[in-house]
Amino acid sequence: MIMLALTLLLLSTGCALRGKDASAALFAMDTYCTIEAHGDNAALAVEAARTELLRLEALFSISEPESDVSRINASDGAPLEVSTDTAALLAAASAVSTETDGAFDVTVEPLVRLWGFYDDAQRVPAESEIRKSLSRVDYRRLLLNGRTVQKGADQSVDLGGVAKGYASDRMAAVLAANGVDGALISLGGNVHALGVRPGGGAWRVGVQDPADESAVLGIVEARDCAIVTAGVYQRFFEREGVRYHHIIDPADGRPADAGLISVTVIGSYGARADALSTALLVMGEEAAIAFWRSGGHSFDMLLVTEDGRLLYTGTAFTPHTSAYRFAKIVE
Ligand code: AMP
Ligand code: MG
């Protein structure tokens, strides 16, 4: 059975919507999505953001035959022209792949398919099958040149680890262009905060405890940033007492097993934060901390370890939990 859970719990910051407030809820990109905004023009802004989400969903869907992603995957390795958004998303994904030495890899599709995560046919594949699929996974063989994309003939892409982050960036841009004072977008584990919350001040976003859907780890004070969580509890199946989840380590073709159960990234760009959260979960605690340090602290993160620790960087997050031993990582 596939277990889906909302990663981030939005604290109810003004549920009773006032005159200038507007909100929308919909199912898109395989998850429950909400948009709320306040200020002049909020209703039109929310509607425009909703339309933008549905437009991008149509481009990035892996199951819709006419989508850019399906056209890329159906191509035999010949160059193909895609939309500006798909090209921008692939460029953002490629950048993170390079930075993380392939811990994030948009060409991971053959492995995710092999483990049965697309069609609810989860199973543990044989080592020989994993080896065969692994040979098709390599982001360096996906070539981008403007709006032209070329993949290896045997390759397929999966934007599941980055598309929601990209969509939140575009939706935030649409909301800002419509002149709202503040907005909060939630696409499953992807939250994007724009401007101020109703009444002023930063938005307050609760980060879900990976072990308890109804509890939070703490609060992020968020203003003009994305807060994205990747967790091993979001989608998984069990066989003979072993749990297998949906984030695959492209180094060995198996569910990531580096000691982290959840990674939250706080950053300026949703697409990058989304891809990074997935990558850091694959990399594990030590490599994630080294990566954060080497990148000049260009983002903040929260790591939850298998052995009950919560490690975090920066000043935006304040822990509120007694379920974990927490420690702040500095310099
Ligand atoms: P997220 O929820 O953002 O962590 O993304 C998870 C989704 O990304 C999975 O359901 C897969 O579709 C895809 N995925 C799994 N492993 C990887 C990986 N190592 N690199 C890129 N995408 C991945
Ligand atoms: Mg991600």
User: φ, ψ for residue 43 (rounded to 5)?
Assistant: -65, -45
Element (DSSP H or E) covering residue 236: strand 236-239
pLDDT at 8: 38
Bridge partners of residue 89, in order along the sequence = none
Q: Which of 245, 246, 282 to mutate to test the pocket of ligand 1 (most atoms within 8 A of CB)?
A: 246
Q: Give, in degrees to the nearest 5, the angle at Cα 90 between 8 and 168.
A: 30
- Eight-state DSSP code of residue 139: G
Q: Is the C-alpha dihedral spanning 180, 220, 55, 84 positive or negative?
A: positive
pLDDT in tens, 40-79: 899 999 999 999 999 999 999 988 899 999 999 999 999 9
**Which amino acid is present at 299?**
F
Q: CB within 8 A of 232, min separation 6: which ones?
A: 210, 243, 245, 247, 255, 256, 260, 261, 262, 281
Rounded to the nearest angstrom, the distance between the alpha carbon of 13 and the centre of ligand 1 is: 30
**CB 112 less than 6 A from any atom of ligand 1:** yes
> What pLDDT digit, counting tens, does each position of 106-137 carry?
999 999 999 999 888 899 999 999 999 999 99
Cα gap 60→159, rounded to integer Å: 7
Whether the CB of 161 sits within 6 Å of ligand 1: yes
Backbone torsions φ then ψ of 205, nearest 5 degrees: -115, 125
Burial class (CB in 10 A: 0-12, 13-18, 19+), 204: middle
Angstrom distance (rounded) from CA 299 to CA 255: 25
Instruction: Write the pLDDT tens digit of every residue in 70-107.
Output: 999 999 999 999 999 999 999 999 999 999 999 999 99
Model pTM?
0.93
Ligand 1 neighbour 230 (Cβ under 6 A): yes
Q: Check residue 19 and give its pLDDT.
A: 52
CA-CA-CA-CA torsion sign (68, 73, 74, 75): positive
For the chain, the average pLDDT equals 92
Per DSSP (E only), the strands in 70-222 are 80-81, 143-145, 148-150, 182-187, 190-195, 203-209, 212-222
User: Residue 149 — left, alpha, or beta (φ > 0 → left; ψ -120 to 50 → alpha)?
Assistant: beta
Cα distance between residue 247 and residue 282, in whole Å: 7
Find the 41 Cα to ligand 2 centroid distance in Å.
Answer: 31
